Amino acid sequence: MNAFLTRAGDVVGRPVLTLHGDAIAQVKDVIVDPETGSVRAFTLSGRGMLSGPLKEAVPWSAVHALGRDAVMVADRDALREGAGTASDSEGGTNMLGTRVLTQEGEDVGKVTDVVLDVTTEEARLVGYEVRLDRHDEEGTVLIPVSAPVVVSAENVLVPAAALRSTTDDLADFRKAAGGPHEEGADDAEQ
């Protein structure tokens, strides 16, 4: 599988399938470890419009593959009760709606989504989609982060230098962040 970039919000709603092709759930939320930036688990809901949240979740260690169209697991035993829930998240924070500040104290805007870099081994937070609240700028930008940043219930702190590498297009994210990009090897999901 080629590495690709995606927004966590685009993963929400993807079906969770076994390697035998059975649809067993769909992704409700993506749980990211605030210290490492790695995806820890996916909380789940049942399949279909009238299905509610499930008590089970899929820890990253049980994910066979995260693809553009589905999350693949070996079988139904990959679902674990309570994995990735609030009691298991060890201080995880819902970052959506959180204020983004530079480490120098500049208020940038609010997090509307997070950017994940998905490889065969892991999915890692590499940036934030932020709705700008600054007087001189409007709209939404993608801000890269090279390492986990300070996250609290109220704020996400990013280096001021990250603001010089913003883009509004996921396809240009690696280039804006200064990361490697080989034509055809890495694809951003639109």
Summarised one tens digit per residue, pLDDT across range 18-49 is 999 999 999 999 999 878 889 999 999 998 76
**The whole model's pTM is what?**
0.83
Model confidence over 123-144: pLDDT tens digits? Answer: 999 999 999 976 667 789 999 9
Report pLDDT for 83: 58
Contact 78, 162 (CB under 8 A): no
The architecture that CATH gives domain 4-81 is Roll (2.30)
Q: What is the CA radius of gyration of the chain?
A: 17
Q: Between the CA of residue 88 and those of 54, 91, 126, what are the distances in Å?
A: 15, 8, 23
Contact 140, 114 (CB under 8 A): no
Least reliable range by pLDDT among 49-53, 59-63, 104-108 = 49-53
In the chain, list all ranges with CATH 2.30.30.240: 4-81
Give the burial string for 140-154 (b: 16+ CB within 10 Å, else e): ebbbbbeeebebeee
Mean per-residue pLDDT, 84-90: 46
